[in-house]
Amino acid sequence: KQPIGVILDAAREHRAHAIGMSGLLVKSTVVMRENLEEMSRQGLDVPVMLGGAALTRRYVEDDCVKSYACGRVAYARDAFDGLALMDRIVGNDFDGYLSEVQTKNEGRVVNEKRKLGRAGDAKPQRPVDFEEIRLRRAELTAKVEVPEPPFWGTRTIARVPVKAIVPYLNERMLYQFQWGYRKDGRSLAEYKDWAKKELRPVMSRIADISIRENILVPQAAYGYWRCAAQGNDVLLFDETGRREVSRFSFPRQNREGGLCIADFFRDVDDPQRDVIGLQVVTMGSSASDVAREWFAENRYQDYLYLHGFSVEMAEAFAEYVHKRIRGELGFAAEEARDHDEMLNQGYRGSRYSFGYPACPNLADQKQLLELLRADEIGVTLSEEDQLDPEQSTSAIVVHHPQAKYFSV
């Protein structure tokens, strides 16, 4: 993340035609709105392109445009949309594009209630009956045996061959969302066949370069703690199960019987402590350094390929470590054999990463990193609660069979 002051200084220094901002997490949408408001205060009218997984076209065109006084804001779904928009900007036709968007949207009902990234726009929370939750939790966990991990506390994984991680790569995510190759009217089967012929060789080439030049340096820290649930909180204890060492608070679905991650662990009043897994993985900082070098050398396509590959490899490494945790807890036999099914949670339990709906508080990564001693593998947290290096992910691991992804 770059502070808005740095962005604007660079824009003025280079007389930028446009400013682009991209965000992965919902928190990013708040920062984007604040940046647009600051640009308005400074009287700027430079075109702005917004994109990333956290945004939708409707949110940008209905809401973000209102935060920028001149209204010169456009949505870019991916890098290719961004290039098309830059053609309009450089060709002095950006305002014409915005007029086309406005004409297209005329008459469409604007959703005034849903503002991404605004906590104040959420529905009023239902009153929570924690006694009811405690009873429901007891029923949910009563028949689930608590697994015994091979150790308590944290361990590091210092050396994992890149080739061992590649099989866990989600190629569809890499090709479509990291590299921007769309289906373009193909069926899913047709797209997979096409990607296998045209894109997998590219992926293999980037992987070979990464291995040969030591661009990716996989390291991880993971471990197990005794734990228990209390309301919407999960309490972590030392090996004795008596001394609390950390606590995570999670949101609950705003409906009757709404879920919360804490529901999948035994209650604090249960005589037996539960177990929780924590993990953090990184592919190291070299990938970003090399990608910047390639960009400076005008190797733009390889830059895009390497950046996307390294980010998706961090996700693949998270799958690798999660599989190891499931194996150590004794759940290996419950794995799906089909690769795509496995990547779609075809296994017992779930891995929840911070910044997503069921586990939104990025700041909680601080205590997770401290427990795992993540600094020993070079992973730190920025002032904006983002992991550094960029090619890193963290998560809590829940063993309960009914634990799957859900929105809040």
Q: Based on the domain organization, do 182 and 45 belong to the same domain? A: no
Q: Based on the domain organization, do 153 and 91 belong to the same domain? A: no
212: in domain: yes
Q: CATH no. for residue 98? A: 3.40.50.280
119: in domain: no
Q: Based on the domain organization, do 172 and 52 belong to the same domain? A: no
Backbone angles phi, psi at 49, to 5 degrees: -110, 130
124: in domain: no
Tell me how many domains the chain contains: 2
Q: Based on the domain organization, do 280 and 393 belong to the same domain? A: yes
Which pLDDT value is given to residue 236? 98
Alpha-carbon distance of 44 to 386, in angstroms, equals 28
Which pLDDT value is given to residue 105? 77
Q: Based on the domain organization, do 66 and 25 belong to the same domain? A: yes
- Evaluate whether 253 touches 259 at the Cβ level (below 8 Å): yes
Judged against a pLDDT cut of 60, whether residue 218 lies above it is answered with yes
Average pLDDT, the chain: 88
Q: Based on the domain organization, do 248 and 333 belong to the same domain? A: yes
Q: Which of 57, 90, 105 is the last residue of a domain?
A: 105
Q: Based on the domain organization, do 235 and 167 belong to the same domain? A: yes
Q: Based on the domain organization, do 209 and 310 belong to the same domain? A: yes
Q: Based on the domain organization, do 177 and 260 belong to the same domain? A: yes
111: in domain: no
The tens digit of pLDDT for each residue in 79-138 reads 778 888 899 999 888 888 888 888 887 755 444 443 444 334 445 555 567 788 888 888
Q: Based on the domain organization, do 91 and 146 belong to the same domain? A: no
Give the pLDDT band (50/70/90) at residue 2.
confident
Q: Based on the domain organization, do 76 and 192 belong to the same domain? A: no
Judged against a pLDDT cut of 70, whether residue 253 lies above it is answered with yes
Q: CATH no. for residue 312? A: 3.10.196.10
Q: Based on the domain organization, do 67 and 155 belong to the same domain? A: no
Predicted model pTM:
0.77
263: in domain: yes
DSSP state of 263: G
| 273 closest CA partner among 308, 246, 237, 299 | 237
Q: Which of 105, 120, 148 is the last residue of a domain?
A: 105
Domain that holds residue 176: 130-398
Q: Could you please report the per-residue DSSP string of 177-191?
A: IIS----TT--HHHH
